Amino acid sequence: MFQVENYDGYANNPTLKFSGSDGIFGNLRSKQKDLLYKTFHKDGENSSILAYNLPDLIGFFAISEDKNGYGGAGFDMTLDGKRTVIHGPWSSREGCFNTRDGSIAIVSCSVGYVQYNFKLSYILSLIKKTNANIGFFKTTQFDDDEVYYVPCVDEPGRFTRTLVKLKKGWSVNRVEHYIKPDGAISPICIPLPAKM
């Protein structure tokens, strides 16, 4: 069952959670081994890598020269066509990879106690399949206008409550549109007030 965690009293974006049998997702841990990473952005010794080859699951990391992410642990992966071990990558956030045109649209979802990243189109298909009443606000956040898809229970009171929370949030610059549970896009263009 899909749920939205609102984090009332905090500035965090609402997040998507799935509880119950994760059978609709298949074996996520096994699928992670099939991710093929490519360099997404490189700046000297720092880079961002993204795996977008599967129809559902997505992977991404930030790699820095200090190699201290995850306590320096090694991650065995295919990167740019070669099998390799990356030591100490850092986790990243989907907004660093989502594109303005929607060609890359990533949504994070906790399945049980583990957070995974999925293609928005895949999550929308599962929401439709399970008759969950959840849509997404497409927002831009932070100084770089990173794109995020923020989940919302698709009911008038919850819809308004989520919009109010986004307006009060410390990182949201703009709410661009709303994606309904059936995938239809409802245009909204709400500039948010400048932060103090």
Question: Using one digit for the tens of pLDDT, what is the confidence trace for 97-117?
Answer: 998 888 899 999 999 888 999
**What is the rounded distance in angstroms from the CA atom of residue 59 to the CA atom of residue 94?**
9
**What is the rounded distance in angstroms from the CA atom of residue 45 to the CA atom of residue 65?**
5
Contacts of 131 by beta carbon, 8 Å cutoff, 6+ apart: none
Residue scoring higher pLDDT (46 or 80): 80
Residue scoring higher pLDDT (192 or 85): 85
171 has a pLDDT exceeding 70: yes
Q: What is the pLDDT of residues 134-162, one digit of tens each?
A: 999 999 988 888 999 999 998 877 877 78
* Number of domains the chain is built from: 1
Domain span at 3: 1-196
Question: For all residues of the chain together, what is the average pLDDT?
Answer: 87
59 has a pLDDT exceeding 90: yes
**What is the rounded distance in angstroms from the CA atom of residue 34 to the CA atom of residue 14?**
29
Q: What is the pLDDT of residue 186?
A: 85
Phi, psi of 88 (to 5 degrees): 65, 35
Alpha helices (H) along the chain: 28-32, 120-129, 156-168
Q: What is the pLDDT of residues 41-57, one digit of tens each?
A: 888 888 999 999 999 99
The predicted model scores a pTM of 0.87
pLDDT band at 196 (very low <50, low <70, confident <90, very high): very low
Exposed, middle or buried, 90 (CB in 10 Å: 0-12/13-18/19+)? middle
pLDDT band at 195 (very low <50, low <70, confident <90, very high): very low
